[in-house]
Amino acid sequence: MTFIDDIFGRLFPEREKKLAYKENFTQTEAEIAATTGWMESEEGVQALKKVYTNFHLKKAGINDRPAVHVLTSPYANGLAITYEEPFTAKIFQQLFFSFGQRMLALGYQRVSLDRKMQELQESVKITEKLYFKPPLSSASLNQKIDQLFGNVAIEKVTIDNKPIFLKVLVTVYADHLYLPAKPFDEFVEGLFNT
């Protein structure tokens, strides 16, 4: 580094820390109604059916579009959907909120709905996240708490306003205060067939 580079470096330091911003947001009643209507429409029914079918195909070792990835570990299981044909950005957005409405139908409570924006090299990554917990109430202090399937996070990631993937991740409680979580396959059936 030369003397001039050192002076310029002190006068105009490079920004090393990338910008990040997180906010909570809400859906309007009209947006919620639109999602409900979409889930009952031919497009919605077919999109949910396509993801459900591709999930089971993937488990059998067969890939179809859009790609569905199966996530498996002892304490977390899930699925991720790659954004590709035949889905559009509108379908992807509606799938995200449809999964959220289905979680409510499964007896879950929504804890948060937030959006995180991060600056990457030359891009902006936006992650929208719905987070759900089971109703953690126990009738008695002597009874274990029913965790249903565990906690559920639903994320939609876009880069430069282009959808990249959707992820549904179920994380179980391993604490002795809770009943064992119900099987992930049962969760998938409930998510797609509620």
65-84: pLDDT as tens digits? 999 999 999 889 999 999 99
Taking alpha carbons only, the member of 163, 89, 78 closest to residue 127 is: 163
Phi and psi at residue 91, to the nearest 5°: -60, -45
pLDDT at residue number 17: 61
Enumerate the β-bridge partners of residue 178. Answer: 145
pLDDT at residue number 4: 61
Pairing of strands 20-24, 109-119: antiparallel
pLDDT at residue number 139: 55
H-run or E-run covering 22: strand 20-24
Q: How far apart are CA 170 and CA 70, in angstroms?
A: 12
- Give the rounded percent of residues in the chain with a pLDDT score beyond 90: 75
What 8-state DSSP symbol labels residue 177? Answer: T
Name which of 13-17, 47-51, 118-122 the model is least confident about.
Answer: 13-17
Confidence band, pLDDT 50/70/90 cuts, at residue 11 = low
Distance of CA 143 to the CA centre of its chain: 31
Mean of the per-residue pLDDT values for the chain? 90
Q: Retrieve residue 108's tokens.
A: 């879950």
Confidence band, pLDDT 50/70/90 cuts, at residue 145 = confident
Q: Is 130 left (phi over 0), alpha (psi -120 to 50) or beta?
A: beta
H-run or E-run covering 116: strand 109-119
pLDDT at residue number 45: 96
Alpha helix (H) residue ranges in 41-155: 42-59, 89-105
Mean pLDDT, residues 40-50: 97
Q: Which amino acid is at 81?
A: I
CB 130 within 8 A of CB 99: yes
Give the model confidence (pLDDT) of 71-125 as tens digits.
Answer: 999 889 999 999 999 999 999 999 999 999 999 999 999 999 999 999 988 899 9
pLDDT at residue number 168: 98
Is residue 152's pLDDT more than 90?
yes
